[in-house]
Amino acid sequence: MKKLLSIILVLLISSSAFAQGDKKPIIGISSTWGGGIATSAPLTYVKSVMRAGGVPVVLPITDDPELLSRMLETVDAVIMTGGEDIDPLKWFGEEPRPALGEIVPERDAFDIALIRMAVAKGLPVLGICRGIQLMNVAFGGTLYQDIPSQVKGAFVKHSQKAPGYYGTHSISIEKGSLLNKQIGLDSVAVNSFHHQAIKQIAPGFKVTAYSKDGIVEAIEKVGSSKVFGVQFHPEVFTANNVDTFLGIFQYLVEEAKK
Ligand code: MN
């Protein structure tokens, strides 16, 4: 009996030690401003992080760098989410085009500070839709404010009217890129809900996927394994149990454990 008890004790101790070493990482998710009365993130991001083995935490918008810094001490990786257009005059020195959509100054300022600080701290960062554009602008790149009125020869519909978990346009992915490794494909159909796009790529970054009409669909930081972005919405597929892009979130979670 004593022997049995000691065996059980050893098993308990070793299983808790295993649990310690394999702790789920905390993934910070950038939030919406909600008109200044709500801070939230779409459930699709939250579900995708949970499905990939991470712990989702929504990061509320603040203009206090000390609060932001403390938030980033508590997370192991960051996802920059989709949303409104980025103010072109303030963040990349261009006059607003007539087709520019809604801009949210509070969110722009927080998101720019958040991504710069996260990268400076060496955290893994995934940018999605607005998030990839934000990543590009935060590190010195520029955007098309509106694809239909600004990009000659853009013949692909980038504002789909189909379910979000359904891919409508194809992209070509560079072999050996992070996205290629994450999903194991060099061509795939993605969803598309954007009218802005990356124009000039930021110094130190490279494009790793294009649509057939030359719109940037993925980027990564040169020489880094942990800063990358996609123009489409992998979280909508993943949250709806379509697993084509689950690897993107699993990769982020694995990087967050390092
Ligand atoms: Mn697209």
User: Could you read off the pLDDT tens digit of each residue along the chain, which spans 258 residues?
Assistant: 555 555 555 555 555 545 545 799 999 999 999 888 999 999 999 999 999 999 999 999 999 999 999 999 999 999 999 999 999 999 999 999 999 999 999 999 999 999 999 999 999 999 999 999 999 999 999 999 999 999 999 999 999 999 999 999 999 999 999 999 999 999 999 999 999 999 999 999 999 999 999 999 999 999 999 999 999 999 999 999 999 999 999 999 999 999
Q: Which helix (H) or strand (E) holds 138?
A: helix 130-138
And the tokens for 257? 């454990």
Q: Cα separation of 228 and 136, whole Å?
A: 10
Domain architecture of the chain: domains with CATH: 26-257 (3.40.50.880)
Q: Cα separation of 81 and 123, whole Å?
A: 16
Distance of CA 95 to the CA centre of its chain: 27
Ligand 1 centroid–CA 105 distance in Å is: 25
Cβ of 109: how many Cβ atoms within 10 Å? Answer: 16
Q: Cα separation of 130 and 114, whole Å?
A: 14
End-to-end CA distance of the chain: 42
Ligand 1 centroid–CA 66 distance in Å is: 36
pLDDT computed for residue 22 by the predictor: 79
pTM: 0.92
Q: Cα separation of 27 and 74, whole Å?
A: 9
Residue 88 vs residues 104, 146, 199: alpha-carbon distances, Å: 12, 11, 12
**Residues 6 or more apart from 252 whose CB is under 8 A from it?**
27, 52, 54, 77, 79, 124, 126
Q: Confirm whether 235 is a catalytic residue.
A: yes
Ligand 1 centroid–CA 64 distance in Å is: 34
Catalytic residue among 94, 233, 254, 255: 233
pLDDT computed for residue 35 by the predictor: 85
Residue 11 vs residues 5, 18, 19, 22, 51: alpha-carbon distances, Å: 10, 10, 12, 16, 28
pLDDT computed for residue 94 by the predictor: 98
Catalytic residue among 217, 220, 235, 255: 235
Closest CA to 135 of 41, 203, 186, 48: 203
Q: Which helix (H) or strand (E) holds 58?
A: strand 55-59
Catalytic residue among 129, 169, 195, 217: 129
Ligand 1 centroid–CA 145 distance in Å is: 14
Closest CA to 49 of 22, 82, 25: 25
Q: Confirm whether 233 is a catalytic residue.
A: yes
Q: Cα separation of 245 and 237, whole Å?
A: 7
Ligand 1 centroid–CA 232 distance in Å is: 6
- Tokens 């009125």 identify what position? 149
Amino acid at 42: P
SS3 46: helix
Cβ of 257: how many Cβ atoms within 10 Å? Answer: 15
Q: What are phi and psi of 207, to 5 degrees?
A: -80, 135
Q: Cα separation of 237 and 59, whole Å?
A: 23
Burial of 125: CB neighbours in 10 Å, binned 0-12, 13-18, 19+: buried
